[in-house]
Structure formats: C-alpha cells, structure tokens
Structure 1
Amino acid sequence: MSATGNPPIVVAVDGSETAAAAALWAAGEAARRHAALLVFTAYGLEDASFGGKVYPPSDWLAVREAAADQLLRQTRTTLEAAVPGLEITTEAGDRAPVPALLAVSERARILVTGEPVGAIAGLFSGSPDVDLAAKAHCPVVVVRGSESVDGPVVVGTDGSPLSEAAIGWAFEEASIRNARLVALYTWHDGDSAGLFQDGNVAFQGESLQDSCRRLLAQRLAGWPEKYPDVQVERRVDHDKPRDRLLEVSRTAQLVVVGSRGRGGFTGLVLGSTSQALLHHAACPVMVVRTEKEN
C-alpha cells in the first residue's frame, strides 16, 4: 500500500459514453485523494508494432492522432467544469491500447476504464478489462452499473493471503469516502477442503461457519486499528462468492476483489469471480493484484 509521492489516477478514454462515465468517476477519485488526474487514450494498431515489420500508413496515423488530441481536449474541458480545481493532464499513446495502458499503469495509483461494450470506438477489442486487471502494475477499476452514493465499500475475501492486498485497498477506499466497509466471506459445500490451506488450521469441534468467521477475523486483523474511522461489518454467508458479490454490488459504492483467489488455476489470467464481477456487477469494481503477481 505504500507509494512514493502521490501518483496520478489514470483514466482511459475513447469517445464512448462508458469511457466518459469512467472519466467522471476517476475525477471524483482523484479529488478525494488530492491527486492529479491523467486522461489517457491510445490510437495505435492492436495487432502491429511500429517497431516491427508492420507499419500503418502515415496519413492514417495522422488522422488517428488528431482525433485523439481532440478527444483529450474535449474530455479535459468537461472534467474541468465538473471538478473545478482538479489538476488534469492528458496524454495520447501511439501503441495498441492494452500495451499502452499496461505501460502507463507503472506510474499510476489506480487505472480506471469504462465498461467495454463490443469494440468501443475501435479502441478496445476482446476483453481488455480482463487483460488489464490481470496484468496492470496498479489496481484497476472498471466503472460499470451505478454507484450507490450512500452504499458501503464491499471487499470479497476468501481467507487466504491472496486477499490481503484487496482488504488494504478496501479500507483505504472506505476511509476516503467516509463509507462503511462490508467484509464478505462466502463459502459453499464444495469449498471446505480448501479452507485450511495457506497455513490455516482447523480446530476440533469447530463448525464450518465458525471456521469461516475465525479466518475472516484473522485476515482483517490490524486493519481496523490502521483505519479507526472505518465502520466494519463482517459478513459470512453460505453461498458462491460470485453470486453473493454480484448481489451486494446492487447497493454498493464499490466492490474490491483480488485478481485471483484460493484454488485458482495457474493458467487463468484472472479468477472466475473477478471476471464475473467485471462483466456483470451493478457498481464499479476494483481488482487488486497481489504482490506475488507483480
């Protein structure tokens, strides 16, 4: 959670309505953090490297660059009116969007994108939110659904050390928003074998529900003392994590999860629960990578 100075919040824009909503969300986040906002767009080819054998026509590239500059000017004007006094800079990259955003994430506090809907104005293809959340050098927020202004920040944890980073970010977000924090631990019948991995110990005579409560308490230990202003609600539910997190997202400001949970397959770039939230949650979703993945 440590950072040098106060890195900017970075938001990716492409001229779409979803990206415009993400820019407004990012501006609010930057204002709360007293940080600068960097509005970023990329206009390069998705499947070609300018340093390789494939080169786009120079006139085509010039048109794309001019359109990117115009988009950045318009977005900056809109955000300056919406959040007066916010320090806003803009930047356009000539690389493909995902590689460009991964590079800029190295100097970002948080990377914010809109909800991808098909190919957004030619900027995104495939599942860029999944690629970014799995590989970015900072937490990634996908702005989707509607933010419940008075709702809680929700963090999903599986009791493993992999959720530690997400818990820390969730406390920080709840603190800067003056919101309560819901720490949600869910378990289902097929998951009991994995509860006592990662050094967790089962106690004789302890019910599975009590084991889950204990593991959640262990994972939260120390954070309430670091953020005494945050009211914490601990919730343990018998359900699939995906289903319960999607449900609570309907009344939350923000849902925070780790990029991968306990028992994830090594070959997956992002855990199934995180992917489901990125595509179906009813509020913005923050995905936090663990230090082991960085």
Structure 2
Amino acid sequence: MSNPPVIAAVDGSDHSLRALEWARTAALSRGTGLLVAHVLPDVSQLYAGRRSSLHDPNEPARFADPVGDYVRGVLEAAPELPPEVRYEALEGSVPEALRVIAAEAAPMMLVMGSRGRGGFATLLLGSNSRAVATTATCPVVVVPHADRDAPGGAPADGAPADGAPADGAPGTYSHGADPHGTAPPAAGASAGRVVLGLHAAETPEDVLLFAFAEAAARGTTVQVVSAYAVPPGPTLIVDSPFQVIPPEALADDGDAVPAEREMLRAQTERLAPLRSRYPQVPVEQAAVPGDAAGRLVDASRSAALVVVGRHHPRRRSLLMGSVANAVLQHAHGPVAVVPALHPDEDS
C-alpha cells in the first residue's frame, strides 16, 4: 500500500466487526488502504507449525481460516471499500503479533474492539486491547462494544451531551466563529466532534496532529478539553458543568476563575500552529475543573472520537497514563490512544 494504511484487527466477534466498520470508514475518509489483520487461533498455528516441521507435500498448503473467510464476506457486502484492501493472517500472541505488524506497516492507525471473542461479558476493556494500546508504535483506536453505547445514542440535532457546552452557547470559546460565537457548520460534517484531551505543557505534538487530521478528514470540529486543579472548599460543587470562558473574558479580570483564564491562554498558545495548519477545522476550547477523565467520558457520549495521549513523552514507563486508562475503560464511543511518535522532540 503506497500510503500508510488503516489496520483493522479482527477475530470474527461482534466487537471486532464494529471496529472493522469503523476502520473501513476511516480509511475511506482518509483516502488510504485498509489492512485487515487476524491472529490465527492456536489450533491453526499448531497445524501450520506441524506442516512446516514435517515438510509433508501431501498436506494441504492452506489450512482452514473461517474468520478470514467470514471477514472477506463482510467486506464484500459493504457499500463502499477503500482503494486497496488486504488481509493478513498472523501467528503468535495477539498483542505481540499486532505490535509487530504495526511496526512493519507503519499504519495511520490500528483499530480494534474493546473486547475480543474470549472476553468476559462484565469486562469493560479486554486484556489484548489494553496491551496493544499500551505498547503499539502507532495510534490505536479502541471501539467499545455495544453495551457501552450512550443511552439513546448521540443527541439529536447536534445537542450536546451532559456536561458539554453547546456549539455557540454562551461561554463557548470557538475559533472560526461568527460574532455571536456560533461555529460555522462544516460541509459534510460527521455526527459528533473530535474531542481532544490536552495538557498544554505535556501532551506531545503527535496527539494534537492526529486529532486535527481526523477532524479535517471528517469535516467536523475539534473540541479541546483541559483540566485545572481546584482546591477543596466549603462551596465546592461536585460534578458541575463545563466552565468555559468567552474570548472577551480573557482580556481582563472579569468574573472568571483565574485558573480558567490561564488554562485557556495556555491552550490558545499551544493550538496556534495547528490552527494555521488546519484553518478549515473549527476549534472549541473548554477549561474543566478537576477531573479531566470524567469530562472526556461525558463528552464521548456525542463525540465521533476522543483523542488522548498515551503518557508523558519524557516518562519512559511502560504503563499507560491514568487519564488514557480511565477514558479507555469507560468511554461510550471510540477512543484514540496516541503515543509520542517522536519521543526525542520537545512536546
């Protein structure tokens, strides 16, 4: 494939077929190829090893791969396919096999379901999904199973999810907005915005680039959510809505919380290069008191995609960051976990 492909990891389960459909549409919107990867079950891997070791020409060259045949049939029934579709059967453990093919293919992203065929029904996130999102060298999009869909789906007529500011509502800080603060509708906009979890001082540039590129491909808005610390006090209101500052409030002290003003200023400075690179992408900025992960989970109810960084680029730990882990566990829609692809560069 000439351009970086989108990889869809499948195992024949309903969860993986949801991920396959998401990957198909992502490849179409990006104008790139689709690589469908399936890790063979143990019995097929044992047969392949036996045939190779015995060098028996009487054994059939191709062993049964019902998942591969089934997925090919699903794709053939799709209304539209990317310019190039390839299927790859892999051997080894699921996390390691997917990590290797991601390193070799250098894909735009790897898409997989939140639970595989062998997952317990009560698990929010399968072990393979967690392992791949933690170690892959490319962005990993985890598509949740149907049980985690927001009740009733995305709000109708563009209404916001609980806790998320409406487009053009008072207090919404939007880039590319009209004098009344309403962002112009994008041509062919997809359902839901791309929500970016941003720590202005720490989030790697690769995370921002991925979010803006995905919004540009979908013709939708990027909503940037950053959290600031709130000291406990007698008047603290738990689970209050987003507190968002309009542009005019940034010019003077006003009645706004100083931490919010400072957070939005930091956001604006960090986002300036992305706005120049993607002038067609409307941007909304939100400063959130306290819990970033909880607000991102709330926003996932109506978002097309939530984008988070995997961990701080200067921390060499193999553990996933707490925000990324919490959002993966509880989000109601697809989540992209983006590593620092250029860890030696300053964020």
Cα 1:126–1:224 change in 2 (3 A) is: closer
In the alignment, the residues of structure 2 paired with residue 244 and residue 266 of structure 1 have an alpha-carbon distance, to the nearest angstrom, of 27
* Structure 1 gap ranges (5+): 191-204
The answer to whether the Cα contact below 8 Å between 2:11 and 2:117 also exists between their aligned partners in 1 is: no
Mapped partners of 2:73, 2:92: distance in 1? 25
Structure 2 residue corresponding to 1:177, chosen from 207, 213, 218 = 218
Q: Secondary structure at the match of 1:78?
A: helix
Deviations 1:58-100 (A, max 9, x none): 38xx9xx845x32112212212321434321111112111110
The answer as to whether partners of 1:44 and 1:95 remain within 8 angstroms in 2 is no
Q: TM-score, normalised by structure 1?
A: 0.79
1:140 aligns with 2:132: no
Partner of 1:151: 192
Tell me, yes or no, if structure 1 residue 82 matches structure 2 residue 72: no
Q: Is the 8 A contact 1:76 1:88 kept in 2?
A: no
Query: 202, 205, 210: which is aligned to 1:164?
Result: 205
Distance 1:57 1:91, change over 3 A: closer
Contact between 2:12 and 2:70, CA under 8 Å: does it hold in 1? no
Larger Rg: 2
1:259 paired to 2:314 = no
- The equivalent residue for 2:268 is 217
- Match of 2:80, SS state, is coil
Give the direction of change, closer, same or farther, for the CA distance of 1:168–1:118 in structure 2 (3 Å limit).
Answer: same
Residues 1:281 and 2:280 are matched in the alignment: no
| Equivalent in 278, 281, 289 of residue 230 of structure 1 | 281
Q: Say if 1:269 and 1:118 are closer, same or farther in 2 by CA, change over 3 A.
A: farther
Amino acid at match of 1:178: G
Superposed displacement of residue 232, structure 1: 0.5
- The runs of 4+ residues in structure 1 deviating greater than 3 Å are 54-59, 145-149, 264-268
Kindly provide the amino acid, as one letter, of the partner of residue 278 in structure 1: L
Secondary structure of the residue aligned to 1:99 is helix
Assess if the C-alpha contact under 8 Å between 2:309 and 2:324 holds in 1. yes
Aligned residues: 264
Identity of aligned residues (%): 31
Unaligned segments of structure 2, at least 5 residues: 52-58, 155-189, 232-252
Post-superposition CA distance 1:180-215 (Å, at most 9, x none): 11011112236xxxxxxxxxxxxxx99222221111
Deviation at 1:5, TM superposition (A): 4.5
In 1, Cα distance between equivalents of 2:126 and 2:286? 35
